[in-house]
Amino acid sequence: MEARSGERRRRSDRLRRFWSGNKRIRLMLTLALAVMLPAAALIYLNFYQLKSLKREKVLESAIHSDFHQMLAIAEKQINHKAYATTEGVRDVFPSPDAEKEDKLLKLDWILSKHPELAHVFLFEADRGFLFRSQPQRMNDPYFLEEHQRLEKTFRGWFTFEAKTMLEGLHKRKRRTSWIGEWGKRADGYAYMTTAFFSLPRLSQSRMVIAGATFDAEYLKESFFPQMLDALIAYKLGEDGGNPLAMVVYAGDPDDAGGYGLTPGHANKPLAASAGWTEGKPEVSRNFADVFEGLTLGIKFQGTSVEALGRSWVQRGFLALGVLSLLLVGGLALTYRSVSREVALARLKSDFVSNVSHELRTPLALIRLYAETLELGRIKGQTKVEEYYRTIRTESERLTALINNILDFSRIEAGRKEYDFRQTDVAELVRNTLDTYRAQIDEHGFTFEQSIDSSIPPVQVDREAIARSLVNLVNNALKYSDTEKFLGVKLYRADGVLKLEVVDRGIGIARNEQSKIFEKFYRAGNPLVHNTKGSGLGLSLVRHIAHAHGGEVEVESTPGKGSTFTLTLPLDRAIQQPASDAVRMAG
């Protein structure tokens, strides 16, 4: 029992340790659960919906049903106008009981008032049939032929079928029936429609039929174009979507309405709205009643419903694609910044342990040597000197380390100040190397220096430049194993001053070359791990270089050695007055 609970505790302890030790995994998991998962689900859902919209052509069918509705309304309005005209004419029709002369005069008067009518007629069983046509059109042979044909046909019908026709008329709500037909013209066929109506204020038992034929040219050139344009303008005012176009054309001869037409003539536009271009209408509707034989069609100007649907779906997919990319990009960015933060936190903790170690070792050595000396147990002058030298070099190392840490903390706090003064850099470099000479020799390094003494004075912070050089030289000593060589070169090139520190040590891998200038960064090389260091030196050198308007760069081949070059501008002397303390934020 106890053993099992102990095991459980251990397991949960392990889990807790794993959890707190893997900050990055924890953060990424939280991110994935809280942001990625819902967002991805949303995107997937949208994607799926879009696919089904595309498959079922939802947009297309919505537009089509809208079109059907618009055509129904259009037919109603077109019919309404035709009815209004005929009803206006019916009201002024002559009475069948008037004198023939008067009736003719009245019919001619109607024609003169209504140029949209080609023919008007009045039939009375006992008094015969009167048929009048627009007089000024009678010299057109096609019109004359139409006049003769219609008069003959109507007379025949009325004589034999007036009774049945009237019965039919009286059953209709508006007491009007229509016959549409195609008449011949010079350029082919022309559509006309004729209204037959009974006259108001007459007893239903009277055999009277009146009527009027709409002029084919009027229908084609004014009536339909004007109606279609008005309908489209009305629709446009309603919703400023894609512009529409409408057409009226001869219905298919196979359809009920297409009678009397040669097949070659079917489906040809009779009239169209301004925006109509070639092509088939998206949705069409056969006229019934007034304009039987004609078909009304509608489409978008310059595009098709299918293309619209396609581009709509495409836009949806594109938006989803961009959204997914953004999501992935955002996740990658977050991952990067989290990784950086975690790496920095790790570097910081490494730094603390490195620095404590670095402080403790020289202090212990100094104490041990000082105590030994104090006890006076050392025999021999050279040994004593060696002890003193060790104490000196170790305290120098301590000072350098403490200086680095102090500088670093000033930079971090934004309080680092540089004291720029006219300086003979050649002398500064020579002096710094001199104090270091003993250490260089002690480590068994071959040392070469080449210093151009003709360099004019430059505005620099003496201490900072000396510290940079010490850091670079120190690194060269630390990170060399078999081949111990140190070269320092100071020279002028293209208006700049270059200070080069060369070694033939372990070198730095290419992917680490830019990182080594970051604070706390130490390369992954095992020799680096076994060497004391804080990871601050190069970040300070870079800060100093930038403060001087210069740069520090590295060229390195792993296993062959490295060259660090500190570049300082020469013309600073002109820009900056002497002894100007410049405050540099970190």
> Is the CB of residue 258 less than 8 Å from the CB of residue 293?
yes
Is residue 497 part of the contact set for ligand ADP (CB under 6 A)?
A: no
Q: Which is nearer to ligand ADP, 121 or 479 (CB)?
A: 479
Is residue 565 part of the contact set for ligand ADP (CB under 6 A)?
A: no
Structure tokens belonging to residue 288: 């019934």
367: exposed, middle or buried (Cβ count in 10 Å: 0-12, 13-18, 19+): exposed
Is residue 503 part of the contact set for ligand ADP (CB under 6 A)?
A: yes
Site track 454-483 with ligand ADP (rule: CB under 6 A), x = hit: -----------------x---xx--x----
CA 305 to chain centre: 25
Structure tokens belonging to residue 478: 């630390």
Min dist CB 377 to ligand ADP, Å, is 35
Between CA 231 and CA 252 the distance in angstroms is 24
> Is the CB of residue 72 less than 8 Å from the CB of residue 285?
yes
Q: Which is nearer to ligand ADP, 199 or 554 (CB)?
A: 554
**Part in contact with ligand ADP (CB under 6 A); list of ranges 85-93, 261-269, 490-498, 506-514:** 506-514
CA 112 to chain centre: 65
Is residue 528 part of the contact set for ligand ADP (CB under 6 A)?
A: yes
Q: Under rule CB under 6 A, which residues in 161-200 are in contact with ligand ADP?
A: none
> Is the CB of residue 309 less than 8 Å from the CB of residue 57?
yes
**Part in contact with ligand ADP (CB under 6 A); list of ranges 142-150, 275-283, 406-414, 499-507:** 499-507
Total binding residues toward ligand ADP, as defined by CB under 6 A: 22
Helix (H) or strand (E) holding 269: strand 269-272
Is residue 211 part of the contact set for ligand ADP (CB under 6 A)?
A: no
Between CA 291 and CA 181 the distance in angstroms is 9
Between CA 567 and CA 550 the distance in angstroms is 5
Between CA 162 and CA 130 the distance in angstroms is 15
Nearest 5 degrees, angle CA 219-CA 222-CA 227? 90
Min dist CB 447 to ligand ADP, Å, is 15
User: By three-state DSSP, how is residue 565 classified?
Assistant: strand
Q: Under rule CB under 6 A, which residues in 394-413 are in contact with ligand ADP?
A: none
Which residue in the set 132, 299, 522, 543 belongs to the binding site for ligand ADP (CB under 6 A)?
A: 522
Q: Which is nearer to ligand ADP, 75 or 503 (CB)?
A: 503
Q: Which is nearer to ligand ADP, 176 or 354 (CB)?
A: 354
Min dist CB 559 to ligand ADP, Å, is 10
Q: Which is nearer to ligand ADP, 507 or 550 (CB)?
A: 507
CA 34 to chain centre: 24
Site track 530-559 with ligand ADP (rule: CB under 6 A), x = hit: ---xxxxxxx--------------------
Structure tokens belonging to residue 50: 């879009």
**Part in contact with ligand ADP (CB under 6 A); list of ranges 295-303, 325-333, 373-381, 505-513:** 505-513
Between CA 548 and CA 551 the distance in angstroms is 8
Between CA 75 and CA 57 the distance in angstroms is 27
Contacts of 237 (CB under 8 A, 6+ apart): none
Q: Which is nearer to ligand ADP, 536 or 584 (CB)?
A: 536
Is residue 506 part of the contact set for ligand ADP (CB under 6 A)?
A: yes
Min dist CB 463 to ligand ADP, Å, is 18
Which residue in the set 562, 566, 567, 568 belongs to the binding site for ligand ADP (CB under 6 A)?
A: 562
DSSP conformation letters of 485-505: EEEEEEEEETTEEEEEEEE-S
Q: Which is nearer to ligand ADP, 152 or 357 (CB)?
A: 357
Residues at the site binding ligand ADP, with contacts judged by CB under 6 A: 471, 475-476, 479, 503, 505-508, 516, 521-523, 528, 533-539, 562
